[in-house]
Structure 1
């Protein structure tokens, strides 16, 4: 555990520095910072093991309110929202995500929270969205390498997940138009749930492929983005095998 805390502390130095540059609050005391790091590590490891009871205990609103306003607090609020969504309490999850956005609109956690709200809106407003995700999980998809990449910037590792040593993946299904732009990327599988989905979607939306005039715009492609703490940049696997894909949670 000491090794995990030390690694987390090192990783969070950059997070705290960035937050101070943005908001300018006084730095927390060393003891408060170590305590916050311990809480963040425990909460994210608990989430990795589907232990939302522990996540709720460590992210109580009164505890979060007492923490320094940094990415650490925002990301703890985000993981609380993940658990609420997994437990089927979408109104509570929405409220938590909105808090994360209002508290720090430019934070990494806020970007992820916006993505979760977008998905919840799709599930509520588009009756065919869940069915489309389930079809995407079963394929068929375009053959690997059917479109040649021009530029594929890597997805960014969620800062608290990296700091806590959490690894996983997200499988994204998407189209590519004749001009090489990606079209309508959707998540068809991920582990742990939600944690790497938003950053994977943001990355794929920014990818570009070589132009292909005779390209079939209806052809869909699938790719696995793997998040490994010891590897930079994030790996991209052209043959993810999505037979065990998990559709989004519903009420």
Structure 2
């Protein structure tokens, strides 16, 4: 296989790799950028796209990054810095085998040099060779659950390179640190959004309760009835008009406050 495929996108085999300190600094800078970029308002897919884009700057030989979400249902690619390489992920999903799925199942990083695993992952190997990919690194990452019924689901950060000598054990360790930190950041972000949603829901509930109580007071004064009777009047109107109780109360209050 050729030492490199695309001019300007790869590093020749005989060129020395950056020293570990420089590589660690690059990863640290990428993580800092990732943490500072989160706003607490992004969707999970947007957050994963940001993770993918940042990961390409964390490794010197990372030419493209995808993020696979591997759940009980069919796996899918949630983010990608190069949509053309999503086909390589799809080959693994369709065949049920490949380094991405291997990483998710074992919960360990998987490094692959294209051409060395034709018997193990023939579909992926063929697709990677057609795309000019020479090396691959997949690292598992625990992602926030999509709903309260799940504790978590597993994804993988898939790093592609056009350089055949890309990715060594040090890169593997860097990506494990990167994915652990990214997972913690996304989880915190999602929990913040969830808590904000609960607060907003509570505020709406309190506002609705206040409106209903005021409407009950108006009806008690007009009809000289008890609080229970006033509430029954509101409920009856709500059912008759097929309108939420708080909206009935708000309409009543609006009618008595208009000049």
- TM-score, normalized by length of structure 1? 0.24
Q: Which has the higher helix share?
A: 2
Q: Which has the larger radius of gyration?
A: 2
- TM-score, normalized by length of structure 2? 0.24
